[in-house]
Amino acid sequence: MSRIEELIEQYCPDGVEYVELGSIAELSNTGVDKKIIEGQRDVLLLNYMDVYKNRHLNKSSLSMKVTAPENKYFECNILKGDIFITPTSETKDDIGHSSVVDENIDSAVYSYHIMRIRLKEANFITSCFISYLFETEVLQSQIDKAAVGLTRFGVSKKRVDKFSIPIPPLPVQEEIVRILDKFTELEAELEAELEARKKQYEFYRNKLLTPVEENGKWMMNNSEVLFKQMCEIGDFYGGLSGKSKADFSDGNAQYITYMNIFSNISVNLDIEAKVKISDKESQNVVKYGDILFTGSSETPDECGMSSAVTNRPNSPFYLNSFCFGFRLTDYYNEIIHPDYSKHIFRSKNIRKQIIGTSSGVTRFNVSKKRMGKVVIPIPNMAEQKRIAQFLDKFDSLVNDISIGLPAEIEARRKQYEYYRNKLL
């Protein structure tokens, strides 16, 4: 039961004060590079995806190891109550993902790809309250107005400083945070169970898609496999480049983004954004059977994530500049099924090869030339379909929001969003 109405009546019956974020917090986005330099301190690095994926952060949230100069080690430390946000993204909707730090994290610093918000008067409840605010229309509408860019959008520290936020009395904040935390905990329990299902799915995917040698032949589930390098079976093509906001205003072409590919095994072709396409760019229209890849990431492990086009688009689709595609030749298009492609390119052995093609310092990029040397096992068509059907069932259990745990998580999330928007 919530006492929120009673608390509002008691502490702020005439409304809530709005303040500029910069008046109550210090903002900083001069973080640390992803480099290892001899003579500097060894540190853990809080990066963009850590913030993007987590509502709360602790030491176990960090995995990247880098080094930092002495001044950055102290300037970019991470303390309980710090709020971190994602200040840039391919789309404005992904700016402003926020996390709050639950504990002091020793020997850790944050990346310059994220922004730290530290309250001038530390109060963990207020930090949690502000972090939740970043999910609401109150701040998202201000982000939408402040964000600038062409192929990637961002908000500056100067603009975030000026964001206007409601700050109710502390007892009201505390009750709102208590309610929203409860929803978050319930969702986290379901997410943990779903994560266990995903690991089970990955185990079977890797087992089914890893050839083994039997009597001098390479077999995949009793079916002999053919090994081919990607350069032997198809060609790469690039995404669109140099697109601005104006390019989304009309035209009849659909636009596939980095996150569409990153988040889906089968690429999501139900996308609303539209772009203008030149005659030259029209040659790179996405087709049924294509395999789509993300071109870069903050970490090598997230480079070259793939999706496969498993249905025939009703209208033209194109990749954005952070992605690239791979198209099988006519011959191999008849030999490799798209339903097999969507799983094999996410299997452990192939991912290891793809990650090996990446290079970079602050951001890692996949080399299409080196990817051409990636070797793909190809069983007969009947075996491809059998493997795909089996793995599709697992995929539905962990990703289909209409059934099972994903459906329950989606229902909880909508319930959480309803109360969050009502409370905030």
Of the ranges 181-195, 306-320, 402-416, the best mean pLDDT one: 181-195
Residues 6 or more apart whose Cβ sits within 8 Å of residue 291 = 306, 307, 308, 309, 325, 326, 341, 342, 345
Residues 6 or more apart whose Cβ sits within 8 Å of residue 161 = 20, 21, 22, 27
Distances (CA, A) of 421 to 85, 148, 416: 19, 26, 9
Taking only the tens place, the pLDDT of each residue in 174-201 is 999 999 999 989 888 888 888 888 888 8
- State how far the Cα of 131 lies from the Cα of 169, in Å rounded to an integer: 16
Res 245: pLDDT: 47
More confident residue, 24 or 240: 24
Taking only the tens place, the pLDDT of each residue in 75-111 is 999 999 999 999 998 888 889 999 999 999 999 999 9
- State how far the Cα of 121 lies from the Cα of 25, in Å rounded to an integer: 8
Res 352: pLDDT: 94
More confident residue, 404 or 329: 329
The CA-based angle 269-274-280, given to 5 degrees, is 95
Mean pLDDT over each residue of the chain, to the nearest integer: 89
Res 168: pLDDT: 96
Query: What DSSP state is assigned to residue 216?
Result: T
- Percent pLDDT > 90 in the chain is 60
More confident residue, 163 or 89: 163
The continuous run of DSSP H or E covering 404 comes out as: helix 404-423
Judged against a pLDDT cut of 70, whether residue 272 lies above it is answered with: no
Alpha helices, H only, 147-250: 157-161, 170-208, 230-233
- Percent pLDDT > 70 in the chain is 93
Of the listed ranges 60-74, 168-182, 244-258, 337-351, the least confidently predicted one is 244-258
Query: Coil, strand or helix: which one is 236?
Result: strand
Of the listed ranges 220-229, 282-291, 372-381, the least confidently predicted one is 282-291
Res 151: pLDDT: 72
- State how far the Cα of 205 lies from the Cα of 392, in Å rounded to an integer: 10
pTM: 0.64
| 403 half-sphere exposure, CB direction, 13 A CA radius | 8
- State how far the Cα of 344 lies from the Cα of 40, in Å rounded to an integer: 41
More confident residue, 308 or 397: 308
The mean per-residue pLDDT over the stretch 269-280 comes to 61
More confident residue, 152 or 146: 146
Of the listed ranges 143-147, 189-193, 217-221, 401-405, the least confidently predicted one is 401-405
Res 197: pLDDT: 87
What tokens appear for 145 in the block?
Answer: 């107005």
